[in-house]
Amino acid sequence: MKKKLFICSCGLKTEHLTLETIKALKSSEVVFSHSIAGGPAEAFIRGLCGDFRALVGRSPGEIAAAVAEAFRTKETIAFLTYGNPFFLNTAAGLLKSRLKSKGVQVEVLSAVSSFDSMVNLLDLNEFAAAGVRLVHAGLSGGNIKFSPETDTLVFMMDNLSRVERPEHAGALKKFIKGLSAAYPPGHEVLIVNAPFMEDIKGRILRTSVKNLERDFPKADKNSTLFIPELKK
């Protein structure tokens, strides 16, 4: 039988697990996760597959190596994350490419994402006529060409000020400078945390272009910056 890897997700909390994902977890001999370790979530997953192995804090390369090693004795494995299984998930992408090259069948299962939740939190039943722009702050170095005519979501915004990474030095200052040049000082921006396992209710912090640098420390690794369009 061909070996198989499920790349799946518990959504933003275990209550979001789909029937499809539950079936995949039950059929797996081992479940790896780099986002779940301990607590009610792990206990719930262990109820579906007894061999649960936490990989929290491991690099994408270490995760891929651990899963590949397990395939030496296992036929069916699941890699469980949260949110959309592939969105801004380096480990999932590496797992798929590396294991497919080794002949493993890989199936990616859909799940509730932070974007889904933010649409509800912000009542975004309509978007700017020019569309919605998604930005990965961690790849920008703070050098973003802003487009005021669109609604903009800046994911992983905490990367702009993570001082432990030398490549991010000065990124926040560059970001604020570019933002201030593109929008008026009083333009509202929102720091949004979608509800998920560690923050069940989620939260929205309303601030402005001129006050964003002051309020930035209130953001964390799960925060997304929403910049509404600049209406004329």
Is 190 or 82 the better-scoring residue by pLDDT? 190
Domain end position, chosen among 75, 108, 141: 108
Determine which of 30-39, 139-148, 191-200 has the lowest per-residue pLDDT on average: 191-200
* Domain-located, residue 220: yes
Percent of the chain at pLDDT exceeding 90: 64
pLDDT tens digits for range 11-21: 888 889 999 99
Domain end position, chosen among 78, 108, 138: 108
Q: For residues 55 and 121, state if they share a domain.
A: no
| Confidence category of residue 160, pLDDT binned at 50, 70, 90 | confident
* Domain-located, residue 36: yes
Domain end position, chosen among 80, 108, 136: 108
- Residue numbers of the domain that contains 157: 114-227
Cβ atoms of 155 and 194 within 8 Å: the answer is: no
pLDDT for the residue numbered 161: 82
> What mean pLDDT do residues 24-45 have?
92
Q: For residues 88 and 118, state if they share a domain.
A: no
Q: For residues 100 and 128, state if they share a domain.
A: no
pLDDT for the residue numbered 53: 96
pLDDT for the residue numbered 129: 92
What pTM does this model have? 0.86
Q: For residues 222 and 157, state if they share a domain.
A: yes
Q: For residues 40 and 99, state if they share a domain.
A: yes
* Domain-located, residue 232: no
Closest CA to 180 of 205, 146, 214: 146
Q: For residues 56 and 128, state if they share a domain.
A: no
CATH value at residue 190: 3.30.950.10
pLDDT tens digits for range 101-116: 999 999 999 999 988 8
| Confidence category of residue 156, pLDDT binned at 50, 70, 90 | confident
pLDDT for the residue numbered 196: 66
Q: For residues 195 and 144, state if they share a domain.
A: yes
Q: For residues 187 and 215, state if they share a domain.
A: yes
Assigned token pair, 16? 């979001």
Q: For residues 27 and 83, state if they share a domain.
A: yes
Gyration radius of the chain over CA positions: 20
CATH value at residue 68: 3.40.1010.10
Q: Which residues pair with 52 in a beta bridge?
A: 31
pLDDT tens digits for range 172-207: 999 999 999 999 999 999 999 877 665 566 789 999
Q: For residues 102 and 150, state if they share a domain.
A: no
Count of domains for the chain: 2
Report the 3 state secondary structure along the chain. CCCEEEEEECCCCHHHCCHHHHHHHHHCCEEEECCCCCHHHHHHHHCCCCCEEECCCCCHHHHHHHHHHHCCCCCEEEEEECCCCCCCCHHHHHHHHHHHCCCCEEEECCCCCHHHHHHHHCCCCCCCCCCEEEEEHHHHCCCCCCCCCCEEEEECHHHHHCCCCHHHCCHHHHHHHHHHHHCCCCCEEEEEECCECCECCCEEEEEECCCHHHHHHHCCCCEEEEECCCCC
* Domain-located, residue 69: yes
Q: For residues 24 and 119, state if they share a domain.
A: no
